[in-house]
């Protein structure tokens, strides 16, 4: 359970209708296998001890008594198992029959969760045999012990207080007010569902979206175990469609009609962090649901779930293209509103032939088109200086021409050299002063051109640069509207690529492709043999690593140690562990020391869940200390 990961399993055994002995053996075998694979919470389908499709056989005393005996046998099998197990069965109490999910741990039946909503429509007729569960939980006598009985039972791990599990049964989650709502409000982080949902056309997609949505609404892990092979096919077919979801994301999904065990890990720390920051997720004012402790040993959880190495970029091409179009539209709409509100006659963009300024220019063209303005009112300014290469200069100029912008060239070398003389700086000293003087001169040129043209300066810096503070304070750090402010560097590349592929202009496409092939650089140091001498990622580290760190640091509040752990998995075979650790330390140091630059950012549109705006997304003292975070990595 280190780092909050808990392995869970949804298991669908092959059963025989009304053959409790056979079903008991199948459940025990599958339970043992799931626990051997490291599962700490194991969930079986609804009424799996007897089979869901027994019909009026549920009224037979012999079947009900055998189900009790089967449950006792399974419970005994859990005595030496380190897991919480849920098994569905019919249970008679006080002359009435209930559809229940029994929770088993260390040889004991901990409780019986009753089904609250009984379907009695279409192919379902549960009210013929079963009674609706009580509205509030109480206790019943089972095998000489008082055992909790009713809806919303909460099972708490004594050794891991954050692991609180609650069960519901099939139709409960399809109802308008599922029991899992109250359970989650009272602390349940993991909801399990013992289900018997048959297969009809289109139902699998709806079922998937239902579980996905419920896990998002409740900010929980959701383990859905569905009936499968062996149920009666007199009228229905069950597919064993098992699903494990976490906060709106399906982590694992079983192929239908195969059965077996579906396992993955749920991240409890992530769920707690999400609930903590989400002010609309409100805990219940009073605790009304029974809380039942269970035993679980603390141990290392081997991770099998995957973590995308580029979390900002969808891996599937269709989804990625859709995302790119949406982001470009959000960026353009933000700029469109600002241009209209300020009655700007022009937009001024400093273009370098690099990725960020390219994206800013493309977004500006899109905004002008939407406003019905002539693209010639876009002033694209190239400002060659000591580090400018022929390649980036040509690309910047050709791009501006093809987009229909007005191209202006303002060489700044002479101005910067004069500035060096004014402040007494040796031009041969290629220190930060040498670099930043150029960046600030460029910003001054852009601002003054905007003033002269009645326009505004469109900022080019992206979110990854802001996170690292890789921007010159009051230089490229400043603008009148920063369209790229919440776009990470890994996504900038895909946005430009998408525009190139969809622009319909082969010459522009070729230029944009060459921009994509150009090393990322501020071009503030003289070229070597005509090539870029200053490569950003050689200095601050690979942006794909920094974007990964940024995503999990901000989005989920992961500790550095946990980020390092999952980064090793995500980048296995791509980066050595020592390299990942080195740049993670760099990220943390720069993120903390450079907050002052983010505290006074220009306005810019938010495009994703991770953003650094000091007004709406990330409020952090500029003098916060990083020591605590670095100390988390000391013994690695």
Pairing relation of β-strands 378-382 and 190-195?
unpaired
**Could you identify the residue written with the tokens 């202009």?**
505
Contact (CB, 8 A) for 222 and 246 = yes
Return the closest-CA partner of residue 294 out of 13, 618, 42, 603. Answer: 42
If you ran DSSP here, which 8-state letter would residue 287 be given?
Answer: -
Give how far Cα 536 sits from Cα of 464, 467, 471, Å: 12, 14, 11
Neighbours of 526 (CB within 10 A): 14
Residues 607 and 330: their CA atoms lie apart, in Å, by 7
The Cα–Cα gap between 314 and 231 comes to: 39
Distances from the Cα of 80 to the Cαs of 156, 401, 589, in angstroms?
A: 19, 74, 47
- H and E: helices and strands count for the chain: 20, 20
Tokens at 108, concatenated: 């004991």
List Cβ neighbours of 241 (8 Å cut-off, separation of 6 or more): 197, 199, 204, 207, 208, 226, 228, 253, 254, 256
d(CA 29, CA 48): 14
Count Cα neighbours of 582 within 13 Å in the Cβ-side half-sphere. 10
- The answer to whether the beta carbons of residues 541 and 616 sit under 8 Å apart is no
Cα separation of the two ends of the chain: 19
d(CA 10, CA 241): 10
Q: Is 46 a catalytic residue?
A: yes
- Sequential DSSP letters for 448-506: HHHHHHTEEEEE---HHHHHHT-S-TTTTT--SEETTTT--HHHHHHHHHHHHHHS--H
Sign of CA dihedral 518, 522, 523, 528: negative
Point out the catalytic residue in the list 48, 170, 194, 385.
170
List the catalytic residue out of 7, 115, 366, 489.
Answer: 115
Tokens (6 digits) for 172: 């409960």
CB 167 within 8 A of CB 290: no
From 7, 40, 46, 220, active-site residue: 46
Number of other residues whose CB lies within 10 A of the CB of residue 469: 20
Catalytic residues: 46, 115, 170
């Amino acid at each position: 359970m280190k780092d909050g990961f808990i392995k869970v399993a949804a298991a669908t055994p092959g059963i025989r209708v009304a053959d409790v002995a056979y079903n008991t053996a199948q459940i025990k075998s599958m339970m043992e296998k799931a626990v051997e694979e490291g599962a700490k919470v194991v969930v079986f389908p609804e009424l799996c001890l007897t089979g869901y499709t027994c019909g009026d056989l549920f009224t037979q005393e012999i079947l009900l008594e055998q189900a009790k005996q089967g449950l006792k046998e399974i419970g005994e099998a859990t005595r030496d198992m380190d897991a919480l197990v849920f098994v569905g069965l019919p249970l008679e109490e006080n002359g009435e029959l209930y559809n229940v999910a029994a929770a088993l741990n260390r040889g004991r039946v901990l409780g019986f969760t009753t089904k609250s909503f009984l379907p009695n429509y279409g192919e379902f007729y549960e009210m013929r045999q079963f009674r609706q569960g009580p509205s509030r939980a109480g206790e019943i006598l089972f095998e000489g012990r008082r055992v909790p009985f009713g809806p919303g039972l909460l099972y708490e791990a004594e050794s891991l207080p954050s692991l609180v599990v609650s069960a519901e049964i099939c139709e409960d989650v399809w109802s308008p007010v599922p029991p899992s709502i109250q359970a989650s409000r009272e602390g349940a982080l993991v909801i399990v569902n013992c289900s018997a949902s048959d297969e009809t056309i289109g139902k699998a997609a709806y079922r998937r979206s239902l579980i996905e949505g419920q896990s998002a609404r409740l900010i929980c892990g959701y383990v859905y175990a569905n009936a499968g092979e062996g149920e009666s096919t007199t009228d229905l077919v069950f597919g064993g469609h098992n699903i494990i979801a976490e906060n709106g994301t399906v982590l694992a999904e079983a192929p239908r009609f195969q059965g077996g065990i579906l396992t993955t890990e749920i991240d409890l720390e992530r769920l707690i962090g999400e609930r903590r920051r989400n002010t609309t997720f409100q805990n219940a004012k009073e605790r009304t649901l029974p809380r039942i402790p269970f035993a679980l040993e603390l141990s290392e959880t081997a991770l099998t779930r995957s973590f995308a190495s580029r979390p900002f970029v969808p891996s599937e091409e269709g989804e990625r293209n859709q995302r790119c179009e949406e982001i470009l539209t959000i960026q353009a709409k933000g700029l469109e509103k600002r241009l209209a509100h300020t009655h700007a006659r022009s937009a001024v963009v400093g273009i370098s032939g690099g990725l960020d300024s390219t994206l800013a220019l493309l977004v500006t063209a899109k905004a002008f088109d939407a406003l019905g303005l002539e693209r010639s009112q876009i002033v694209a300014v190239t400002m060659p200086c000591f580090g400018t290469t022929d390649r980036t200069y040509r690309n910047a100029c050709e791009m501006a021409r093809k987009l229909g912008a007005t191209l202006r060239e303002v060489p700044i070398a002479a101005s910067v050299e004069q500035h060096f003389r004014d402040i007494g700086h040796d031009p041969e000293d290629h220190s930060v002063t040498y670099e930043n003087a150029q960046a600030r001169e460029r910003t001054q040129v852009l601002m003054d051109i905007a003033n002269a043209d009645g326009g505004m300066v469109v900022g080019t810096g992206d979110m990854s640069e802001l996170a690292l503070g890789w921007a010159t304070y009051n230089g490229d750090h400043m603008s009148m509207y920063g369209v790229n402010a919440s776009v990470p560097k890994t996504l900038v590349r895909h946005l430009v690529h998408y525009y190139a592929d969809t622009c319909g202009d082969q010459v522009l496409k070729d230029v944009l492709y060459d921009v994509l092939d150009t090393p990322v650089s501020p071009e503030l140091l003289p070229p070597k043999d005509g090539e870029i001498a200053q490569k950003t990622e050689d200095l601050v580290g690979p942006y794909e690593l920094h974007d990964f760190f940024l995503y999990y640091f901000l989005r989920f509040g992961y500790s550095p140690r946990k980020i390092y752990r999952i980064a090793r998995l995500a980048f296995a075979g791509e980066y050595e562990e020592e390299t990942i650790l080195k740049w993670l330390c760099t990220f943390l140091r720069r993120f903390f020391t450079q907050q002052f630059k983010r505290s006074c950012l220009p306005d810019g549109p938010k495009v994703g869940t991770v953003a650094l705006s000091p007004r709406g997304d990330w409020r952090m003292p500029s003098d916060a200390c990083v020591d605590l975070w670095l100390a988390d990595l000391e013994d690695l």
